[in-house]
Amino acid sequence: MHSRTSSLSSITELFRPNNPKRLRSRDLSSTRLNALKKEIETDAHLIPLKNLYSLLGTDPIKGLTSAKASELLQYYGPNTLTPTTQFRWPKMLFKSLFTGFSILIWLGALLCLLAYVIESSTKARPSKDNLYLGCVLVAVDVICGLFSFFQNFKSSKILKIFNNMIPMSTHCIRDGVWNPAMPVAHLVKGDIVQVKSGDIIPADIRIIESKGFKVDNSSLTGECIAVSRSNTEGSPNILESLNVAFFSTLCVEGWAFGVVLCCGDLTALGRVAGLAARLQPAPSPLSREISRFMRCMSVFALCLGIVIAIASTILGYPFIQTTIFVIGIIVANIPEGLQPTVTASLTLTAQRMVKKNCLVKNLEAIEALGAVTTICSDKTGTLTKNKMCILHIWIWNRTYSIQDPDFETIAALKICGALCSTATIAPNGDIHGDASETAILHFLCTYDDPVTVRSNFPKIAEIPFNSINKYQASVHLDKKLSRYLVVMKGAPEFILLRCTSVALGDKDKKITKEVKEAADKAVEDLANAGERVLAFADLTLDPNEYPMDYDFDTEEINFPLEGLRLIGIIGLKDPPREEVKNAIERVRAAGVRVMMVTGDHPATAKAIAVEVGIAAAATCHVVTGNDLRNMNPDLLYLTLEKHYEIVFARTSPTQKLQIVEACQRHGSVVAVTGDGVNDAPALRRADIGISMGITGSQVSKQTADIILMDDNFATIVMGIEEGRKIFDNLKKSVCYILISNVPEILPVFMFILFSLPLPLGVMTILCVDLGTDMWPAVSLSYEQAESDVMKRPPRHSDPLVSSRMMILVYGHLGLIEFASGMFAYFTVMAEHGFYPADLFGIRQRWDNEAVSDLRDSLGQEWTYAERKELERACQATYFVAVVVTQMMNGVICKTRYNSILDVGMKNKVLNYGLVFELALACVLCYVPVLNDFFCTYPLRFQWWFLAIPFPVLLLSFDEFRKYCIRRERFGRWYNKLTYY
């Protein structure tokens, strides 16, 4: 006892407001997180109340003294939830601006600005191209970073929503005086409080005294069934103990006095809030892929920079010029359009998913769904309808399905079901009450009018349901016969003990051993099917013994509750959604493992799991919360490895978190569904947190990455398909963007190594990356999913950018595009008198402003201004050649495997994008202000056709390559080399 209580005391010390451990802010938050991950270890709900009063220094009649309460409040702090220090908005903004691929773009921007500074210090009239490019890159990073920040900032408000669940005041006694408006923040351990119907529980309290006390734990558990709480014997697990009511739960019936056990951060709610706020979400697969790609591109660019530096030094370029060259080659390697393309593609996909009842809060979660390997699904509301209904009724030795055509409920059951209920019926017909009673009344409404029944049998007295007796009873006046009727419902094992006869048609039969065995078997069969079983009984009182003026007493019961007549037994169930079984079949066919993680009873959980196809009856392995308490992380890991079909039942919030972390340790990409506050830590830690839009709590919605607006598991299947499709399409977009990198990099090589006039300028590179390429790259996200997208296993070693893609881009398609640009460049130069052979080595004189008589191959003399105008025309022609070939690459990138002749041009967004690409190139070349700013030129009509042979070559080559891949020609050479 003392060790467990001392464990609670030690964790209490961690949450004192004055940081007694003197830890740094980050270390304190980490230490608190590790402490909150552990199960609650206390026996304060098990020890006798007398000992508990002594331990807490309180009195059950007078409460704490004001001095003692003030001392505890100052020492342990107020009864509120402590905000974390991890998610302050400046830090979040910094992470949004400087993470993943944005770091590479920031580097490019700084290098561009550095190159401009160097040129400004060494030249009288430096080019401003690098300045413009640097500013544009900064703008791209800031815009994308702010977009990401606003997407994620809402997640930092988790604790605010938790605090909204806390009441402002409560009834508390101190110094023997009741204070009906004690601020909840001032409560401390040991305070004596009173709660009544409609009140929110102000702290975790142990019940001292109660009457008909029921609480709705849905704010914590998500289960909306009211449960009784009373001064009874506690169970080892405090979360299942019937003598404890928890912070933030709602009292729906009765009243209770209780003593405060825990306040603030150490309450059940506080622990969930602390975990949800402090847990760092796992990096998404896409962010990991982009980080990996960023590292590869950085190394590649650095290696090219080193090569250029060595070559420039050997060729005799001065150090300053060499530095500018190195910066230029590194910047040319940065695909500036990749980040906005990925962001735009994910955003457009998210908008499409909203139309399918799937609201995406975290854009990267879309792609992560496609990579998911394990789904930890909640039961209530996700797999089931979250609506209790009657499925079976046992009436004397026969179990009827309510759908049986010959089924007709007996009159006594109609009357008992309508009367023995606390649910209310509004004038408009709406029924309000707990799930079971609401289901019973809905069922009875199809046979009779419960309101009429109740008016004919007014209630005289009532004994509310409690966890000890396991029944509910009430006395009613039969107006027609002028006598009293006792009705009772409850757990079958308790009701049967009070019955001596059973209803049999229009007569009654004495309960024999055979009758009892038949009833027991019916109860067992219904329970094994996952149904909640209730028995109904009644007793007509003798009018001579109980006249009309008889005073019924429910405290000192003065009427019979024995010798009743058993009317029938009903089985209620929250049935599975019709579409869930097919959805789970599709998910499992896609190689995704589905596990149920619920707080419900193991038998009910297993029955639903079998019914929806999560598990087979013979092989399903059920792990309860008690089992998990006895498992260390290694044993849980081995259990997940040994059993493929697992149902976790009666789990606590920390256990749900442990299951998620164990799956991630197993190498799984984990999606978690949930709707309650207790699901928040698991939703936060999972790779993809999925909340319910209809039944989900505000906390679960705030914590999740995705919200299912229809609360339907089948929507997750759509999300997985969409995620796999977007990953395939992102590959196509990335491939398309990278192709244009080659004709942007190699001209810089030609410029440096062969001293050619620069074939492609910085500003025209910008026109390609952030102009003409953008729409076609984004429009590839609209490509339809390939037919086998849900038949493949989840990807494990299929990167976003693979070596095969790089070989295809840099060794095939990019080189053809570079060749088209150089062909156009050399053709325009030749038309004006500069033949290719004479261009090599000419750069130094070409760029020298002092040389005003440079001779071409025909002997014509060119001034510096004339040369620069020709250079602009050549660069514009090179740019147009890149645009024309990129249009064909957009068509090629529609498929990675199939022929474009089979797929066709059905993607209208891409078709418009290709037209836009060509139109934008025309605008950039012919609009006077723009062509001056971007260093382009109004081209002659025939120059647009110089690149035409190369798109034809691209299409022919790629169709041949894909044909070889499909038919596995040349010993699968193309498959191994270029099938990305």
Write out the catalytic residue numbers: 378
3-state secondary structure of 817: helix
Contact 909, 345 (CB under 8 A): no
Compute the distance between CA of residue 189 and CA of residue 52 in angstroms, rounded to an integer. 11
Contact 488, 533 (CB under 8 A): no
Q: Which helix (H) or strand (E) holds 779?
A: helix 774-779
In sequence order, the 6+-apart residues with CB closer than 8 A to the CB of 70 are none
Compute the distance between CA of residue 3 and CA of residue 58 in angstroms, rounded to an integer. 22
Contact 204, 262 (CB under 8 A): yes
Please tell me what DSSP assigns to residue 576: B
Contact 22, 271 (CB under 8 A): no
Angle at which helices 338-354 and 129-153 cross, to 10°: 30
Contact 431, 443 (CB under 8 A): no
Compute the distance between CA of residue 366 and CA of residue 417 in angstroms, rounded to an integer. 47
Nearest to 652 by CA among 682, 623, 625: 625
Contact 178, 237 (CB under 8 A): no
E strand spans, 704-765? 706-708
Angle at which helices 908-926 and 864-892 cross, to 10°: 180
Strands 499-504 vs 507-510: parallel, antiparallel or unpaired: antiparallel
Q: Which helix (H) or strand (E) holds 408?
A: none
Reading the block at residue 219, the tokens are 């704010």
Nearest to 596 by CA among 672, 703, 693, 681: 672
Strand partners, 192: 173, 259
Compute the distance between CA of residue 559 and CA of residue 860 in angstroms, rounded to an integer. 123
Compute the distance between CA of residue 470 and CA of residue 228 in angstroms, rounded to an integer. 10
Query: CA of 360: how far to CAs of 239, 377, 560, in Å?
Result: 33, 18, 59
Compute the distance between CA of residue 626 and CA of residue 655 in angstroms, rounded to an integer. 10
Please tell me what DSSP assigns to residue 761: -
Nearest to 724 by CA among 593, 594, 590, 897: 590
CA angle 611, 617, 622 (to 5 degrees): 95
Q: Hey, what amino acid is at 444? A: L
Strand partners, 194: 171, 257
Handedness of CA 80, 81, 82, 85 (dihedral sign): negative
Nearest to 258 by CA among 218, 198, 309, 209: 209
- Work out the widest C-alpha separation in the chain, in whole angstroms: 134
In sequence order, the 6+-apart residues with CB closer than 8 A to the CB of 139 are none
**Which residue shows structure tokens 């400046």?**
90
Nearest to 297 by CA among 728, 729, 730, 734: 734
Handedness of CA 149, 155, 157, 161 (dihedral sign): positive
Contact 709, 359 (CB under 8 A): yes
- Tell me the H-state helices in 57-184: 66-76, 89-97, 101-122, 129-153, 158-164
E strand spans, 290-355? none
Compute the distance between CA of residue 761 and CA of residue 111 in angstroms, rounded to an integer. 16
